Structure 1
Amino acid sequence: MPLTFADVGEENRIQRVGGKPEVRAHLENLGFVTGGSVTVISTIGGNLIVNVKDSRVAISKEMASKIMV
C-alpha cells in the first residue's frame, strides 16, 4: 500500500520506491530506501511528516504515494 494510507505512529517497512528515476533518486537521498523503516508522525492537509533514518522529513502527498510499504 502507498505510504499515504499508513497509520500514524505505526512503523512500516519500505517495499518499493516508484516514480521517475530523478524522483526515486531524490527520495533515496532523503533516506527512503527499499527495506528501510518509516513511521508517519502526522498528516497535515494530506502532506506527511515522517520519521526515516532518525530524522523527520516532510513530504507531499504525491511523493508519499510513490513509496510503497
Structure 2
Amino acid sequence: MMPLTLVSSGETNVIQRIGGKPEVKKHLEHLGFVVGSEVTVVSSIGGNLIVNVKDARIAISKEMAAKIMV
C-alpha cells in the first residue's frame, strides 16, 4: 500500500484506505474517492494530481492525495 502521490501517470489502482479527519474523508467520498473504486492518475504538476475516478476528472492537492492509499 502506498499514497496516491507515489503513483505514476497513466497507472490505475484500487483505493485501499482513506485517512485523515472525518470531514476530509467525507469530502473525498463526495468527490468519488471510496474504498474499492479505481483511480487513474492523469498527470502530476508540482505534486498536485489530476485523476480519473468514477468517470470524472478531478484535481486534488498533494496533501489530499497523500491521504488516499492505493
Both structures adopt the same fold (TM-score exceeding 0.5): yes
Matched residues, percent identical?
74
Give the aligned CA root-mean-square deviation in angstroms: 0.3
The Cα of 1:23 is off from its aligned counterpart by 0.1
Deviations 1:12-63 (A, max 9, x none): 0000010000000000000000000000000011100000000000000000
Match of 1:58, SS state, is strand
Distance in 1 (CA, whole Å) between partners of 2:69 and 2:46 is 20
Match of 2:49, SS state, is strand
Structure 1 residues without counterparts, runs of 5 or longer: none
Aligned length: 69
Structure 2 residues without counterparts, runs of 5 or longer: none
What TM-score comes out, normalization by structure 1 length? 0.99
The residue that corresponds to 2:13 in the other structure is: 12
What TM-score comes out, normalization by structure 2 length? 0.97
Divergent runs of 4+, >3 A: none
Counting only pairs closer than 5 Å after superposition, residues 27-46 of structure 1 correspond to structure 2 as: 27-46=28-47
